[in-house]
Structure 1
């Protein structure tokens, strides 16, 4: 009887460490899975923000920083918007190159521009990270708005449709605050071939005030949908055939525009717009005879409808503070 009891006790003592080994293996497995799971806690999002600032290769970098500032505190919503942004390109980059750095690298304060920033302790909420203090989301948003309102965005443009019509052109647009901008344009095809009685000349300039729609917190200035009111004018001389030509003593056009601008990459963007309004001109018709122009008749012409169309390449420049 005693021998049987001793045998049972020995068997129990044998399986006890084995069970501990399996239990430890299961625990390590769970911990390992938890480490691989890319779930960011609030304090880590602050470190992500500083890594994004320091990394010039992050796709849609400005939009990513803006989303982190604006949705800091609503981290589930933030992750959802990052997955949606531009088909998830930025979020995929964060998963591959930014999130793995969190907790594995020591960030020196001099390496990142935000690391040395400090704010009073009474300002809440505050996100503390190892390398320094991250400015609170609300404060960053206010500072970002102030900086954004002080900056002037200058955009240089070229209308591709006018280029196809052999009409050299240039536009300059200046931002005024967050929702307004002023666009000026100039076009000057000045082609003349007297030997073949060909003339294609136009001097024209105009201005347009624009109001930008949509939520400006979520978009860069001079991007998105806009409405505008424009006016332009100039002189012209067209003779495409030897038999006749027409010379405009003046022309004016004014009306409303609707358009959309989208940033392509970096400072480059594309803009499409259509203007509908009223055009008025005074003209004289002529024909060529032995090298001279013989005037035939003239008059005035009025038109209501589309008066301009644009598909423009845009180069955005930031000036001032």
Structure 2
């Protein structure tokens, strides 16, 4: 055996040895990496399997999955905007729900539905119209942008005011007036009367709590229903999956959204438990019809007990236009007494009606001076005018501390006047008296659409 052959064999053995060492090293590294990944990701894998198993249990038990989508909108708008308010997070949750409920090819989807709900507050027809439009436009939005959702034709509908949802939230609160509120919701009275009775619960203290719950009722329910027998036949679901203890307890606790409702309601109850409603001390008003005619005015109404009030008013337009060609000058004052029927009686929940709100009747008298010139060369001056009669109207609530009042007065008006002509000389202008007369009118003498500020109304700590 020559030297070259020995050296060649030695080199070959060394190369094989190096290759073996590299393979062992790589194998050890790969093994340790897999062990580390299994150690760090084992919990995630178990959680994923556990979550999917819980999902299948829910489908097997209820036959469907659902999510309440609550989007924020500008006032009066129905177009879904991901950049508005907290909509980005809501859309992210909706996409995740659609991925889980529709994206698994082993799930046999039978039906997809979108159902819109609105809150009971405000105008019924407007809220229902918005619920329909928002549900329809959300469906269109998902069809245009979600490739999973577009594979399944969806039914779109609207249920209107969600009294059932409001009942569930109030029942979960455990507040002292909850039982009475549930009896009002379950009664056969009209929705408007239900809102009136709920607003008066606990002396009006429950109104703000219930009002703050209304945004939670404005939603679109996205529901996916599955063909459970078909899924059992194909083996996705075993013939019978009993609901585990964890699943049952989760069902009893409710979904995360239900817990959010309860937490929100408890927070609102706790926040206002030590608050009481303050009744208005008096009301400041302005007649918007006079304001539109450039006649500034102010009214002050003082409640006398619960069923009576007295109001004083003052109107004081005093302006000239185009160098004394036109003028409107009037100083007028008046007083009115009012009776508010039904304010002594208590509502079915034991509370009372709000002061200076509702229907009223009364009697009034007023008087003043005036100088009107609406033509270039002719005008009328009033020595004194007086009016008296009966009035009636209705004051409705806009927001806390602010009302809108509609009233009409019918009676008699009498005035003495003198007509004058305007004579313009080179140096001065004179008013030349032409004739005098009396005017008497029997019929409507005043009409008002007044904006009312209830001074002092609000909430305060006990």
TM beyond 0.5: yes
TM-score when scaled to structure 2?
0.44
Q: CA deviation at 1:259?
A: 0.5
Correspondences of 1:211-230 after superposition (within 5 Å): 211-214=339-342, 217-218=346-347, 219-230=353-364
Unaligned runs of 5+ in 2: 1-56, 63-163, 199-209, 219-256, 348-352
CA distance 1:114–1:245, shift in 2 (3 Å): same
Q: CA deviation at 1:209?
A: 0.7
- Measure the CA separation in 1 of the matches of 2:325 and 2:263: 76
Kindly indicate whether residue 351 of structure 2 is the aligned counterpart of residue 210 of structure 1.
no
2:371 to 234, 237, 245: 237
- Measure the CA separation in 2 of the matches of 1:195 and 1:94: 60
- Measure the CA separation in 2 of the matches of 1:105 and 1:161: 43
Kindly indicate whether residue 308 of structure 2 is the aligned counterpart of residue 180 of structure 1.
yes
Cα RMSD after superposing both structures: 4.3
Aligned residue for 1:8?
A: none
Mapped contact 1:242–1:287 kept (Cα < 8 A):
no
Aligned residue for 1:159?
A: 287
Q: CA deviation at 1:220?
A: 1.4
Aligned residue for 1:316?
A: 454
Correspondences of 1:83-122 after superposition (within 5 Å): 84=192, 85-86=194-195, 90=211, 92=214, 100=259, 112=271, 114=273
Aligned residue for 1:252?
A: 386
Map Cα deviations across residues 96-153 of structure 1 (whole Å, 9 max, x no partner). Answer: 9x98578769979x955647x9xxxxxxxxxxxxxxxxxxxxxxxxxx9xx87xx543
CA distance 1:257–1:250, shift in 2 (3 Å): same
Aligned residue for 2:318?
A: 190
CA distance 1:113–1:204, shift in 2 (3 Å): same
Aligned residue for 1:286?
A: 420
Mapped contact 1:152–1:176 kept (Cα < 8 A):
no
Mapped contact 1:287–1:293 kept (Cα < 8 A):
yes
- Measure the CA separation in 1 of the matches of 2:262 and 2:292: 55
Mapped contact 2:310–2:336 kept (Cα < 8 A):
yes
Aligned residue for 2:156?
A: none
Mapped contact 2:171–2:182 kept (Cα < 8 A):
no
Q: How many residue pairs end up in the alignment?
A: 241
CA distance 1:315–1:79, shift in 2 (3 Å): farther
SS of residue paired to 2:456: strand
- Measure the CA separation in 2 of the matches of 1:310 and 1:164: 12
Mapped contact 2:216–2:261 kept (Cα < 8 A):
no
Mapped contact 1:224–1:262 kept (Cα < 8 A):
yes
- Measure the CA separation in 1 of the matches of 2:457 and 2:400: 15
Mapped contact 1:42–1:73 kept (Cα < 8 A):
no
- Measure the CA separation in 2 of the matches of 1:43 and 1:297: 76
Map Cα deviations across residues 21-54 of structure 1 (whole Å, 9 max, x no partner). Answer: xxxx99x969xxxxxx97769996642x5xxxxx
Aligned residue for 2:437?
A: 299
SS of residue paired to 1:195: coil
Unaligned runs of 5+ in 1: 1-24, 31-36, 50-67, 118-143
- Higher normalized strand content (fraction of residues): 1
TM-score when scaled to structure 1?
0.61
- Measure the CA separation in 1 of the matches of 2:355 and 2:419: 46
Q: CA deviation at 1:307?
A: 0.4
